[in-house]
Amino acid sequence: MKVELAKSFQFEAAHENPRGGEARARMHGHSYRVDVIGRGEVDPRFGWLVDYADIAAWFRPVYEQLDHHCLNELPDIEDTQVRGLERWIQERIPEQFESFAGARVSIVGDCAFQPVECPPDEALALPARVAFSIEAAHDLPNAPPGHKCRRLHGHSFRLELGGGGISALGDAARTLYDELDHRNLNDIPGLENPTSEVLCQWIWDRLKDETSGLSVVVARETCTARCVYRGE
């Protein structure tokens, strides 16, 4: 019995890509997904191709070089674009993973201005919102010594503006996208320590006097971590 397995990982990293035009040549960042793939015959004794825990253990040393780092500083990397990153990862999977069949890298964010309307979220008491993503780098210089967020890294940030639909908040969203996307947030005045909390307040202060109906700003660094700010 032949099967294909895929175990997914997500890491947060910064990079600059001189091959990608003016915006991509600036320091920025993304949330990345890596699918580590195994392919082969199922072991009849265990009923599996390989233990998922073993895949995680084999990938861990590679992951620790990627997550919360700048990809341009990786050893022996020539191309930090997705295909180049795949090659770099594949060269570092240990030989013990005999059924390894490749790694596929993708970016979690939109990499374009694609605003969407979100329905109200009763669990977090959020109104209807306009959501869009930005690809940005940052580091948190005020984090405790040794904290991984003190290192330059990046995210596909998901930003949400609450209090109206695209017709009401679309222009504000576009303005923010142009100011924040494909940049290092630390270089922007007022964002020298750009935590999600600081970013939310910065956005609120930037929009509050010119955007009627704004009631909440949400910043998500990952799919499991978000900050909600209501202007208080």
Q: Point out the residues that are catalytic.
A: 149, 182, 221
Closest CA to 211 of 159, 177, 176: 176
Take residue 172 and report the two structure tokens written for it: 């504000």
| Residues whose CB falls within 8 Å of the CB of residue 170, separated by 6 or more in sequence, listed in order | 115, 130
What is the 3-class SS of the chain, one letter each residue? Answer: CEEEEEEEEEEEEEECCCCCCHHHHCCEEEEEEEEEEEEEECECCCCECCCHHHHHHHHHHHHHHHCCEEHHHCCCCCCCCHHHHHHHHHCCCCCCCCCEEEEEEEECCCCCCCCEEECCECCCCECCEEEEEEEEEECCCCCCCCCHHHCCEEEEEEEEEECCCHHHHHHHHHHHHHHHCCEEHHHCCCCCCCCHHHHHHHHHHHHCCCCCCCCEEEEEEECCEEEEECCC
| Residues whose CB falls within 8 Å of the CB of residue 200, separated by 6 or more in sequence, listed in order | 217, 218, 219, 227, 228, 229
